[in-house]
Amino acid sequence: MILQRRTIRSRLDRPRRRRLLPAAAALVIAAGVLTLTPSTAVAEDDAPVTSDTGVGELLTQLKTGSDILTNKDAVEGGDGKDYWIKNHVDSSLLPPNLLQQLGVDQALIDLGLGGRDSGGTVEDDGLRHEYLVVWAGDNNILDKSGSELLDLPTSIGLDLIGQKNLIGPDFFAVVDVTKGAKSYGKVVNTATVGPLVENEPHHMQYLWHKGDNIFAGGLFTDVTYVLDTSQLPKLQLKGINLPTDTLCGSVPDAYWVTKDHKAYGTYMGGPDVPGPCTYTDGSVRIGNGFAGSPGELVRLDENGKTIAEAPAATTKAETEQRCDSIPLLSLPTCANPHGVQAREDLDTLVTSDYNEPRNIILNPVQPLSSYLRRPTVRFWDISEKDKPKLKSVTFLPDGPRKGRVAHHEESRAAMEVTVTNRPGHRGAFAETMQGGAIYYTPDITVDEPKWQQVFDLGITNKQVDPTSDAYGGGSNGAWIQTSLDDKYLYHAVAGRGATSDDKGSKPYILTLDIQKLLASGDSPACRIDTLEESYSGGAESDCPAVVDTLEAPGGPHWGALDNLELGSDGYYHETTDVKRLAYSNYFVARTGLNGDHRLCLVDIEDGKLTRDEEFRDENTGNTCIEFNRDSWPHGAWGPAKPHSMLFVTADADIK
Amino acid sequence: MTLGDDTTWRDRILRSRRVGVLVVAVLLAVGGIGYVLYAGSSGSSGAEADRWSRSVAEPAPLQVLGGERRPGFPSVQRIEHDGLVFTVTVAPALPGRNLVRVDALPLEGHEHEAADEELTVEVDGGAAPVEPTKRPGSDGLWAVVDLPSGNPTVLVAHGPEHRIPVMLETGSTGSADALWAGPDGPECLQAATAAVLAGGKAPTSCPASSLRGSDRAGLTSIVTTLASRGVEEIALSADSSPRSAAASRLVRRLAAAEGVRVVPPSARPGRRSALVVVAGWQPAAERLAAVAGLPVEKQALRSDGVWLAPWLLSPGVVDSTTGAVIPLDFDIRDEAAQRYSQTLAKYFPEQAPTGSAYLAWRRAREGANARGESAFYAASRAAYMPAEPGHSSHETTVSWFPGGTVTRISLPTG
């Protein structure tokens, strides 16, 4: 079958296919059945922005023999302008059943190109496919450090900075993660977004559920993209939320999608314009401007339209611990919400405050204040989902370890929170990126939840590498997630770089057993309150127990659980018995904490972690998918920065 | 869309060819001239023959832009020497006080770095060498020299042993505008270079010599917006350039019409106060950095933040404060702005893009009346991670705002 298909395909040499493109395009208009158009390649994505004919030639080469099917659609933003997404589906990786699903097959048949050469070279596998959708940024010259830019050319020639370094489009990579599929581990589509570049792609929601759109944020553009995944591997743009749609907040970080398919988004930075900002409920807070303080919580409809902007700051000064801003605010606040998770059944949403975004890097000047790293977690009443209301502001307590710098104290930089999931549990965890600690509160529904430190990364840093510096401060922990059955807690730790007087700490993925802690109900005994416990673990019997650590070279920052399971009926179903997770090695290049841009899969068995060795890069053959590659379905744009990912299927494939 | 029928693409290529041909032609022309490398210590003034050694082993400085050296045209010359690449820009290349920009970067594979204090600039046969220095608000190293008419040579010395000659044509008529040698000089030079890089003529005046219509519109939108937001007081930071003086008058007139009082920046901020900066790059950067460098509790508490005049989109200025609002009629993410910044990165990887230079580039390519959609932008630091020990510099030399972002935050302002 494959041989036959290839034989017929050979008659469709590339020039012939290109000649047919106008006809294909006409078919789109006339019949409306073709959802994807055989590609004339990357002309709209090549964008650039270059002064060299060399790049043009390169792109011409790319066009030769393209197997890439493109489809572009746009939505109108609040400013009246069009914002688009453009799919670049690699038809050479898709079996006919998937091409049929996309409507390509019939279109090609109508063009006289049907039969076995219906666009694919892959044998029909009869599988329903599961994908990882990865939100990735173009890596370009703006991500280079000064020292990398000192390679002056010896002459003025073509393409001195190179296509790889040009500013290219950010994109969603669609990676096939269907066990047993021929295209396992391959990038079957890249959906570029535009016209905005340099979004600094950041987070999507934590888990995807059937019927949900994807909400994806761009830190630097202050934009939220909303994507329809129902026709995967194709993505559609459903909406875009622009800075002018969230005037009281900026720098969107993370999202939590509720059962009604609407979402909450944390906007970490302050109002777009310094001064007073009026929120949806009519209240007013004074902010110090874009990427400053205070941030906000935004309620978005299923297409990303703003329903409500809710203030994260109270009307009183937050003074339990120091909350600096630059410039200072008349009412000090630590309100820069980053992580967000919710328990709809408990009408409670939790957000953690990380940093005042714009004032962290003061390089080469030392930070004016270590107290820009926030030690706070906020609790919200979401009993009226479209009117989220701040209920309480809680401070993580300082721990027994003395930070080498003030922002290494345990409570500093509360990047992420994760809630427990089972009806009998009401607790939540918080972790601190610079503090290197994990906290727990047993009941998020009480008026003033109390936090206690239950883990210190100093406990596992030494286990991962006995030669490393065990000190937990600055270990750069990030993604933290309870298993959906509440047995385990997963945590990505990027590690601390070595210096002349610090051996640093290794990167790893950590699994903790939290069953005893949760079983302790409203009165957990575990407390890291001695220095010994910071390095050896809590003395109390209900403290989290280390189940496993998986070394993760390259610096994992983010992860996602695979909550989808292929049932005996051939369809996917959601599960709480998670068997694998994905993680990626990228934070934010311009902070100096970058990562090696790899995406990995990990199999899970009773909390034990095993990297999936079959999930290999299609170009290098190495374990994990490398986003530092020369070429993508959308062109030779070079390395990309994968920040976050979600396990998703097409709507028809999940019940 | 195909390559062949895409007029935008064709235009793009034609435009790029224009720049490429210009540059390559110059290289070919100048490459045959031969080489003169000046070496040795400054020595005694009378022993010229002892001061110079002559060699044919290395290339001469290459005129990077413009095709030829001529009076009133910024001369950009580049040479590799001693493991370093020197790029020397002299403008306006007219008799009188001229501005010299020196960039010295190590060649790939070379460890050698040019220590700023080892560099000196002088005019052959002229006054004593001067040390090029940094200027607040701009990147690069800068020196001012007095050029005679005719064919002067500027000597850039790298330590006592190495001298690089930069030969110029200043002509016999005309004289350099005083703005070139003053605090607005770097903006003048970068705008002129950008215009030439775009294949246009060298501007005959500096941006700071007058208040352009687009600047006027931007300042008007600032004042009316602040007034509409309830701001009661504008602290106005200006300087003595013709542009700043005109801007200051405009802001005062508009503020008076809106019932907003104008006070000096040193005044204690009132209840609703914004700082509006209409000075040039250097004083703007100096004053903003002076405030940003204070302990946080000693910084002025202005409820409505910092607002910058449109010409202040320069990394050296916007990075002098933690965040500011600026009216622009272009978006740094626009394709045209990207083309400028990336072309700059290609030919001048040591220079950061700036708003004034981009507008000069745009005028050269699209005509003097080129306008974009005006809106407010937030220029803000946006990367967030402590500068941990061991982390390399976060800065790039090609970004509009290294470590930050310039993001549109408003609908069109008219």
Q: Which two tokens stand for residue A511?
A: 């699994």
Diameter of chain B by CA atoms? 71
Q: CA–CA distance from B377 to each of A177, B236, B300 (Å)?
A: 41, 20, 22
In this prediction, residue A69 has a pLDDT band, given cuts at 50, 70 and 90, of confident
Give the DSSP letter string of B305-331: -EEE-GGG--HHHHTTSSEEEEEESS-
Distance from CA of A587 to the nearest CA of B (A): 10
- Listed by number, the residues of chain B in 331-390 with a beta carbon closer than 8 Å to a beta carbon of chain A are 333, 335, 338-339, 342-343, 345-347, 349-350, 376, 378, 380-390
Closest to B30 (Cα-Cα) out of B71, B62, B57, B58? B62
Check CB contact of B25 with chain A, cutoff 8 Å.
no
Residue of A143, A150, A291 lying closest to B381 (CB–CB): A291
Name beta bridge partners: A510: A491, A549
Length of chain B: 414
Residues B156 and B33 in one domain: yes
**Minimum CA–CA partner of B407 in chain A:** A221
> Where are any strands of DSSP class E within B185-260?
233-237
Residue A120 has pLDDT above 60, yes or no: no
Q: How many CA atoms lie within 13 A of A643 on its CB side?
A: 25
Mean pLDDT of A589-614: 91
Residues of chain A positioned with their CB less than 8 A from the CB of B108: 150-152
**Minimum CA–CA partner of A330 in chain B:** B301
Q: Report which of residues A106 and B364 the model is more confident about.
A: B364
In this prediction, residue A61 has a pLDDT band, given cuts at 50, 70 and 90, of very low
Q: What is residue A445's predicted lDDT score, i.e. its pLDDT?
A: 98
User: Which range in A192-196, A305-309, B364-368, B379-383 is most confidently predicted, on average pLDDT?
Assistant: A305-309
Residue of A243, A359, A405 lying closest to B381 (CB–CB): A359
Residues B247 and B376 in one domain: yes
Q: Quick check: is A229 in a domain?
A: no
Q: Which of B346, B365, B374, B393 to mutate to test the interface with A (most CBs of A within 10 A)?
A: B346
Cα B370 to chain center, whole Å? 21
Residues of chain A positioned with their CB less than 8 A from the CB of B342: 48-51, 141, 161, 166-167
Instruction: State what percent of residues in chain A have pLDDT above 70.
Output: 81
Give CA–CA dist A9/A592, Å, rounded.
48
| Single-letter amino acid code for the residue at A538 | G
Distance from CA of B46 to the nearest CA of A (A): 36
Q: What is residue B39's predicted lDDT score, i.e. its pLDDT?
A: 35
Mean pLDDT of A330-348: 97
Residues B36 and B108 in one domain: yes
Q: Quick check: is A28 in a domain?
A: no
Q: Quick check: is A597 in a domain?
A: no
Q: Quick check: is B388 in a domain?
A: yes
Residue of B20, B335, B385 lying closest to A49 (CB–CB): B335
Residues B133 and B237 in one domain: no
Give CA–CA dist A205/A581, Å, rounded.
15
Q: How many CA atoms lie within 13 A of A330 on its CB side?
A: 16
Q: Which of A51, A220, A268, A336 to mutate to test the interface with B (most CBs of B within 10 A)?
A: A51
In this prediction, residue A68 has a pLDDT band, given cuts at 50, 70 and 90, of confident
- Listed by number, the residues of chain B in 197-236 with a beta carbon closer than 8 Å to a beta carbon of chain A are 229-231
Give CA–CA dist B241/B188, Å, rounded.
12
Residue of B80, B107, B322 lying closest to A358 (CB–CB): B322
Asked if A123 contacts B368 with a C-beta cutoff of 8 angstroms, the reply is no
> Where are any strands of DSSP class E within B221-288?
233-237, 261-263, 273-277
Distance from CA of B51 to the nearest CA of A (A): 28
Asked if A520 contacts A442 with a C-beta cutoff of 8 angstroms, the reply is yes
Q: What is residue B284's predicted lDDT score, i.e. its pLDDT?
A: 97
Q: What is residue B36's predicted lDDT score, i.e. its pLDDT?
A: 36
**Which are the contacts of A5, defined by CB distance < 8 A and separation ≥ 6?**
A116, A117, A120, A121
Backbone angles phi, psi at A515, to 5 degrees: -65, -40
Residue A213 has pLDDT above 90, yes or no: yes
Q: How many CA atoms lie within 13 A of A126 on its CB side?
A: 2
Q: How many CA atoms lie within 13 A of B149 on its CB side?
A: 5
Residues B280 and B330 in one domain: yes
Residues of chain B positioned with their CB less than 8 A from the CB of A152: 85, 105, 107-108, 349-350
**Minimum CA–CA partner of B404 in chain A:** A358
Residues A142, B409: C-beta atoms closer than 8 Å: no
Count of A-B CB contacts under 8 Å: 296
Q: What is residue A351's predicted lDDT score, i.e. its pLDDT?
A: 98
Residues B297 and B356 in one domain: yes
Mean pLDDT of A132-152: 64
Q: What is residue A140's predicted lDDT score, i.e. its pLDDT?
A: 72
Residues A220, B397: C-beta atoms closer than 8 Å: no
pLDDT digits (tens, 9 = 90+) for A243-280: 999 999 999 999 999 999 999 999 999 999 999 999 99
- Pick from A195-209, A349-363, B343-357: least confident: A349-363
Residues of chain A positioned with their CB less than 8 A from the CB of B323: 274, 288-292, 358
Q: How many domains, in total, are found in chain B? A: 2
Cα B351 to chain center, whole Å? 8
Mean pLDDT of A440-456: 98
Q: Quick check: is B199 in a domain?
A: no
Domain range for B141: 15-176
Residues A222, B409: C-beta atoms closer than 8 Å: yes
Residues A275, B304: C-beta atoms closer than 8 Å: yes
What spatial distance separates the first Cα and last Cα of chain B, rounded to whole Å? 33
Asked if B73 contacts B57 with a C-beta cutoff of 8 angstroms, the reply is no
Q: What is residue B382's predicted lDDT score, i.e. its pLDDT?
A: 64
- Listed by number, the residues of chain B in 126-165 with a beta carbon closer than 8 Å to a beta carbon of chain A are none
Residues of chain A positioned with their CB less than 8 A from the CB of B322: 288, 292, 326-327, 358-359
Q: How many domains, in total, are found in chain A? A: 1
Q: What is residue A406's predicted lDDT score, i.e. its pLDDT?
A: 85
The low-confidence residues of chain B, meaning pLDDT below 70, are: 1-61, 64-67, 107-117, 382-399, 402-403
pLDDT digits (tens, 9 = 90+) for A539-550: 999 999 999 999
Q: Which of B405, B406, B408, B411 to mutate to test the interface with A (most CBs of A within 10 A)?
A: B405
Residues B20 and B134 in one domain: yes
Helix pair angle (B7-31, A53-63), 10° resolution: 130
Q: What is residue A592's predicted lDDT score, i.e. its pLDDT?
A: 65
Q: What is residue B383's predicted lDDT score, i.e. its pLDDT?
A: 58
Residues B166 and B264 in one domain: no
Residue of A146, A152, A288 lying closest to B396 (CB–CB): A146
Backbone angles phi, psi at A268, to 5 degrees: -70, -35
Give CA–CA dist A240/A454, Å, rounded.
40
> Among the three residues B160, B176, B192, which one is the final residue of a domain in this structure?
B176
Q: What CATH number has the domain bearing residue B262?
A: 3.40.50
- Pick from A40-49, A84-93, A349-358, A465-474: least confident: A40-49
In this prediction, residue A165 has a pLDDT band, given cuts at 50, 70 and 90, of low
Q: What is residue A360's predicted lDDT score, i.e. its pLDDT?
A: 62
Residue of A197, A289, A361 lying closest to B394 (CB–CB): A361
Q: CA–CA distance from A132 to each of A98, A125, A214, B311 (Å)?
A: 16, 19, 12, 45
Give CA–CA dist B103/B106, Å, rounded.
10
Length of chain A: 655
Instruction: Report which DSSP code applies to A89.
Output: E
Q: Quick check: is A244 in a domain?
A: no
Three-state DSSP at A264 gives: strand
Q: Report which of residues A34 and A120 the model is more confident about.
A: A120
Residue of A161, A360, A367 lying closest to B345 (CB–CB): A161
Distance from CA of A197 to the nearest CA of B (A): 6
**Minimum CA–CA partner of B31 in chain A:** A155
Residues B84 and B149 in one domain: yes
pLDDT digits (tens, 9 = 90+) for B67-108: 678 899 899 888 888 778 888 999 999 999 999 999 887 766
**Which are the contacts of B293, defined by CB distance < 8 A and separation ≥ 6?**
A365
Q: What is residue B29's predicted lDDT score, i.e. its pLDDT?
A: 35
Distance from CA of B298 to the nearest CA of A (A): 9
Q: Quick check: is A485 in a domain?
A: yes
Residues A147, B388: C-beta atoms closer than 8 Å: no
Distance from CA of A166 to the nearest CA of B (A): 7
Three-state DSSP at A105 gives: helix
Residues B164 and B30 in one domain: yes
Closest to B88 (Cα-Cα) out of B11, B31, B167? B167
**Minimum CA–CA partner of B24 in chain A:** A156
Mean pLDDT of A218-241: 96
- Listed by number, the residues of chain B in 254-313 with a beta carbon closer than 8 Å to a beta carbon of chain A are 272, 274, 292-293, 295-297, 299-306
Asked if A219 contacts A228 with a C-beta cutoff of 8 angstroms, the reply is no
Helix pair angle (B185-197, B355-366), 10° resolution: 30
**Which are the contacts of A135, defined by CB distance < 8 A and separation ≥ 6?**
A170, A172, A201, A202, A203, A204, A216, A642, A643, A644, A645
Three-state DSSP at A211 gives: coil
pLDDT digits (tens, 9 = 90+) for A290-299: 999 999 999 9
Give CA–CA dist B73/A460, Å, rounded.
64
Q: Which helix (H) or strand (E) holds A286?
A: strand A284-287
Q: Quick check: is B192 in a domain?
A: no
In this prediction, residue A49 has a pLDDT band, given cuts at 50, 70 and 90, of very low
Give CA–CA dist A202/A196, Å, rounded.
15
Instruction: Specify the residue for token string 């008799």.
Output: B95
> Among the three residues B129, B154, B176, which one is the final residue of a domain in this structure?
B176
Other residues' Cβ atoms within 10 Å of the Cβ of residue A655: 11
Give CA–CA dist A225/B267, Å, rounded.
44
Q: Quick check: is A187 in a domain?
A: no
- Pick from A64-73, A369-378, A418-427, A605-614: least confident: A64-73
Q: Which two tokens stand for residue A249?
A: 């907040």
Instruction: Specify the residue for token string 């001239």.
Output: B33
Distance from CA of B127 to the nearest CA of A (A): 32
Q: Quick check: is A408 in a domain?
A: yes
Domain range for A432: 396-556
Asked if B227 contacts B221 with a C-beta cutoff of 8 angstroms, the reply is no
Residue of B272, B322, B343 lying closest to A359 (CB–CB): B322
Q: What is residue A381's predicted lDDT score, i.e. its pLDDT?
A: 98
The answer to whether ipTM exceeds 0.90 is no
In this prediction, residue A109 has a pLDDT band, given cuts at 50, 70 and 90, of low
- The CB-based long-range contact list for B81-86 (8 Å cut-off, 24+ gap) reads B81/B37, B81/B158, B81/B162, B81/B164, B82/B112, B82/B158, B82/B162, B83/B107, B83/B110, B83/B111, B83/B112, B84/B110, B84/B112, B84/B113, B84/B114, B84/B158, B85/A152, B86/B61, B86/B156, B86/B158, B86/B164
Q: Quick check: is A523 in a domain?
A: yes
Residues A145, B301: C-beta atoms closer than 8 Å: no
